[in-house]
Structure 1
Amino acid sequence: MPRGGAQTTVNALAGYFASLGGIVYTSSPITSLEGFSPHTVLVCDLSPRQLLEIAGNRLEPEFQRELGRFRYGPGAFKVDYALSAPIPWKAADCARAGTVHLGGTLEEIAASESEVWQGKHPERPFVLLTQPTLFDPSRAPAGKHIAWAYCHVPNGSTFEMTERIEAQIERFAPGFRDCILARHVSSPALLQTMDANLVGGDINGGAISLRQVAFRPTSRLYTTPDPSLFLCSASTPPLGGVHGMCGYHAARTVLQKIRFRP
C-alpha cells in the first residue's frame, strides 16, 4: 500500500518518466488517431471498444470485426467508507490483513460468482475489502479509519448493492455499521465515467474466458495490423490486475518490433 494513497504511485511513475525526458500531458483527450504520423509509435492503454472508436481506418476491417467480438465481463459495485474505528472483525487475523476476502464457504463463493455470470445479483456477494489505515494512518484523521469494498455484478448493472455488501461485512464483523461515518458509492456506470476502459464496470479489461485468455484481445496480442499501433491495456495478457505486466510485455514487444523495422 503506497503511503498517502494510490496517487503517490502515479506521481512516482510520472516523476521517473520525466527524469528520462518524457512529458506527461493531462486534460488532453484524444478522440482520433488520424492526426498522428504513420511513423509515430502509438502504445494505447485502451480496451478494444475504445481502440475501435479512435483508430478509424488505420485498422483492417477483419481486425475491427475481431475487436468487435471481444466480450466484457462482470462489473464492479464499489463502496468507500469513512469509519470512526477499526472494523470489529470476529476473526482477529482479519484485523491484521490489508485485504480481506469475504465469501463464507467455497460453495457460497462459487454460487455468488455463478449468479453474477447468469445476470443475477447475489444476496450474499463475494466481497473484497481493503482497510489501508491499519498500515497507513496518514490517510485519515487521527483515530479514524477508511476502508473500501466491492463485489461483482452483471456488466452494466444499475442494481443498488450497498445493503448486501454491508450485510456481508456485518456478518463477519458485527458492529461494522455502527462505525460508518460516511460512504461513497461507485456504480458500474460511475466507474466507466471515471475510466472509459471500465466498460460496464468491468475492472478486468474483458471477460476471462478460455478464448480470451489465449487470444486477448486477438491472436495478435499486443500488436495490430498497423505496424505503429500497439495495445498495452488490461485487455492484453496476462489479464486484468494491478501487476503492470500487460504494459511490461507490450513495451518489450514494441522495442522488438521497432528494432527490426526495415
Structure 2
Amino acid sequence: MPDIETADAVVIGSGPNGLVAANILADAGWSVLVLEAAAEPGGAVRTGEITAPGFRNDLFSAFYPLGAASPVFDRLGLERHGLTWRHAPEVLAHVFPDDRVALLSRDLTTTAKSLEAFAPGDGDVWRAEFAKWQRIRDPLLAAVTGPFPPVRALRGLLRELGSAELLRFVRMATLPARRLGEEWFAGDGGKILLAGNAMHTDLGPDQSAGGMFGWLLTMLGQDVGFPVPEGGAGCLTDALVARLSARGGRVACGRRVTKVLLGSGAAVGVRDEHGELVRAGRAVLADVPAPLLYLDLVGEEHLPGRLVSDLGRFDWDDATIKVDWALAGPVPWTAPEAARAGTLHLGGDLDGLAGNSNDLACGRIPRNPFLLAGQMTTTDPARSPEGTESMWAYTHVPRGQRWSADRLRRRADRIEQVIEKHAPGFRDLITARAVSGPSDLQDRNANLVDGAVNQGTAAIHQQLVFRPVPGSGRADTPIDRLYVAGASAHPGGAVHGAAGANAARAALARAKWTGGGYVAMNRLVNRVVYG
C-alpha cells in the first residue's frame, strides 16, 4: 500500500487567499501543501496570452487598490519576492454619456479640480473626506481585513473619530451611493465616482451600503491608486508562490480535491481527483466558495440542518462577460482624461447605472451596459509591444442564462459600440479579441460560479456576521479543524488576502488549545448559531 502524503495543513485552492493562508502557516513552522485543480496556481489572479502573441492579458482580476493597501500583503513583504507595482498616469476616469469626465487621480489637486468643474465647492468636500480618510486609514483597513468582530480596530476608530463622529460614520456606511453623493456633492462628478466604484461590487446606486464601498475604493484610489503588478496579475501569484517555496511550502497543480475527510468530527485530510489521500495533521483550509465546500466536499449529512438550509439561500453576485483586446494603438478617446486613466467606467450617468442595476435585478440584459474597463499597457508598458494597447472590459449580466457563441459575440459587439461612441475609430484598432462568458470564466476557475467574481453578493444581508450564512463572520466551521479561507467568508471579494489570513490565524489559535476546550467551545457556538 503506497504511503499517504502528510502535511500539517492542507490548503484547497491556490488563489491569493489560499496562498496567503499557506504563507502564514509556513511562517509559523507548519508543513503546508496547497492543492490546486487548475494547471497553474493563482485562482482569479492569473495572466496569459489569449488575444495575440506578445499581449499579456489578465484572465480575471487586474487592478488591486486593496492589495496595495492591504496590511496582510504588507506583512508578507512580497516586493522582496519579485512583486513590483505599476501605475497609469491617472487612476480612473468615469466617462459620462455626453463625454464629460470625472477624474480620480493620486494627485489630490487634480481630483479636486475635476470635481470642482462639476460644481463649485465639491473639490473642498473631496479634500475634507480625504483628510478624514488619512486620519482613520490604518484602523479602518485593520477592521476591513481583520477577523470579525474587529474589536481592536474599532477602538482605534473610536480614538480617532470620537463617539459622535463614529456614530455618523457608521450611518454613512449603511447609505446607498446615490444618497451619500447627494448629501455631500452638488455636482455630478463626486456622485458618479461614488456610484461607479460601488458597482465594482454588485451594488447599484440605490442599494444599502453601496456608498461605503464607493467611498472606500475612491479613497484608496486617491491614496494608493489602482496599481497592477508589473508583467501581469500572475506576477502577484508568482511572488506568493516564491515566498511560500522559500519557507518549505509546496503547491501541487492538477490535483482537484473531491472530498474533505473527517474523523471524530474533525477534518483529518482530503482526497483528490486521482484518488490520492493527503493526511492533514493540524488543519484543512479551503479557498473555495462556501456552498461548494460544505455541500460538495464535506456533504450535508455531516452538517447541521440549519446550515444546509441557509446554504440553500446563499446569494451569489451577478454573472459576468469579459472581453480582452489586442489593439494596434492607443484608444482614440474624445476626452483626453480617459487616455491617461488605467481604469475606466462607461455606460451611464447616475440614473443610467441605476437602470443597469434594475435590469439585472429583473433578469433583463441591460440595453446600455455599464462597463468597467482597463487600459493595461497605459498602466504597465510590459503588457504589449511598443505602440500597442492591451485592453479589457467586463459587464454584468443576469445569472442562470445560456450564452451561445453567437449570443456572446453579439454582446461583445455591443460592448465595443459603447466604447466606440467615446473613442471613434476604436474598432479599427482591434487586431484580436477574446470573449469570455460566465461558463468560460467558471471553466477557467471553478470558484467563479456562473461568472460570479466575488463569491457572493456584497449586499448587507450577506456581509459581516451574515457571511457566508447567518452566524458566520469567522473562518471556523462546524467541523473542527476545517476553515473557510475564500472570498465567500468575511470580508468578501477583492484581492487583499484577508480571508486567507483570518483562516490561518484561526488554525494557529486552534492549535494552541490542548484538551477538549476548543472543541467544546466550538460545539457551543454551533448550538447557538444552528440550533
Distance 2:496 2:323 in 1: 23
Which residue of 231, 234, 258 maps to 2:487? 234
1:114–1:259 Cα change, 3 Å? farther
Q: Does residue 181 of the first structure (1) align with residue 431 of the second (2)?
A: yes
Is contact 1:39–1:228 with CA below 8 Å preserved after alignment?
Answer: no
Look up the SS of the partner of 1:95 in the other structure.
helix
Which residue of 291, 297, 317 maps to 1:54? 297
Tell me which amino acid in the other structure corresponds to 1:237. H
Provide structure 2 residue ranges, at least 5 long, that are not aligned to the other structure: 1-227, 262-267, 270-278, 516-531
Bigger drift between 59-68 and 98-107 goes to 59-68
Q: If each structure's helix is expressed as a fraction of its own residues, which one has the higher value?
A: 2
Q: What's the % identity of the aligned pairs?
A: 39
Q: Equivalent residue for 2:502?
A: 249
Give the alignment's TM-score, normalised by structure 2: 0.47
1:97-246 aligned within 5 A:
97-157=341-401, 158=403, 159-160=407-408, 161-214=411-464, 215-218=466-469, 219-221=471-473, 222-246=475-499
Tell me which amino acid in the other structure corresponds to 1:96. R
Provide structure 1 residue ranges, at least 5 long, that are not aligned to the other structure: none
Is contact 1:74–1:117 with CA below 8 Å preserved after alignment?
Answer: no
Q: Equivalent residue for 2:246?
A: 19
- Could you tell me how far 1:241 is from its partner in structure 2? 1.3
Q: Equivalent residue for 2:107?
A: none
Is contact 2:343–2:373 with CA below 8 Å preserved after alignment?
Answer: yes
Distance 2:361 2:502 in 1: 30
Q: Equivalent residue for 2:258?
A: 31
Is contact 2:282–2:511 with CA below 8 Å preserved after alignment?
Answer: no
Is contact 1:156–1:189 with CA below 8 Å preserved after alignment?
Answer: no
Instruction: Give the 4+ runs in structure 1 shifted more than 4 A.
Output: none
Bigger drift between 226-235 and 215-224 goes to 215-224
- Could you tell me how far 1:12 is from its partner in structure 2? 0.7
Is contact 1:3–1:138 with CA below 8 Å preserved after alignment?
Answer: yes
Over residues 29-49 of structure 1, what are the superposed CA-to-partner deviations in whole Å (9 max), with x where a residue is unaligned? Answer: 111112715754011011123
Look up the SS of the partner of 1:4 in the other structure.
coil
When Rg is computed on C-alpha atoms for both structures, the one with the higher figure is 2
Look up the SS of the partner of 1:76 in the other structure.
strand
Distance 2:514 2:398 in 1: 43
Distance 1:114 1:246 in 2: 30
Over residues 85-131 of structure 1, what are the superposed CA-to-partner deviations in whole Å (9 max), with x where a residue is unaligned? Answer: 11111221111111111133111111112211211111111100011
- Could you tell me how far 1:203 is from its partner in structure 2? 0.4
Q: Does residue 88 of the first structure (1) align with residue 315 of the second (2)?
A: no
Bigger drift between 36-45 and 149-158 goes to 36-45
Bigger drift between 6-15 and 211-220 goes to 211-220
Over residues 126-164 of structure 1, what are the superposed CA-to-partner deviations in whole Å (9 max), with x where a residue is unaligned? Answer: 100011111322221232211010001011332532122
Tell me which amino acid in the other structure corresponds to 1:50. L
Over residues 197-226 of structure 1, what are the superposed CA-to-partner deviations in whole Å (9 max), with x where a residue is unaligned? Answer: 111111011122322113111222322111
Look up the SS of the partner of 2:428 in the other structure.
helix
Bigger drift between 177-186 and 36-45 goes to 36-45
Tell me which amino acid in the other structure corresponds to 2:246. S
- Could you tell me how far 1:242 is from its partner in structure 2? 1.8
1:220–1:261 Cα change, 3 Å? farther
Over residues 172-221 of structure 1, what are the superposed CA-to-partner deviations in whole Å (9 max), with x where a residue is unaligned? Answer: 22211111111100000111111111111110111223221131112223
Distance 1:242 1:181 in 2: 30
Distance 2:489 2:478 in 1: 16
Is contact 1:48–1:68 with CA below 8 Å preserved after alignment?
Answer: no
Distance 1:146 1:261 in 2: 54
1:225–1:39 Cα change, 3 Å? farther
Look up the SS of the partner of 1:21 in the other structure.
coil
Is contact 2:325–2:430 with CA below 8 Å preserved after alignment?
Answer: yes
Distance 1:243 1:97 in 2: 22
Distance 1:64 1:22 in 2: 34
Tell me which amino acid in the other structure corresponds to 2:472. R
Give the alignment's TM-score, normalised by structure 1: 0.93
Look up the SS of the partner of 1:98 in the other structure.
strand
Distance 1:154 1:41 in 2: 37
Distance 2:287 2:280 in 1: 18
Distance 1:216 1:75 in 2: 19
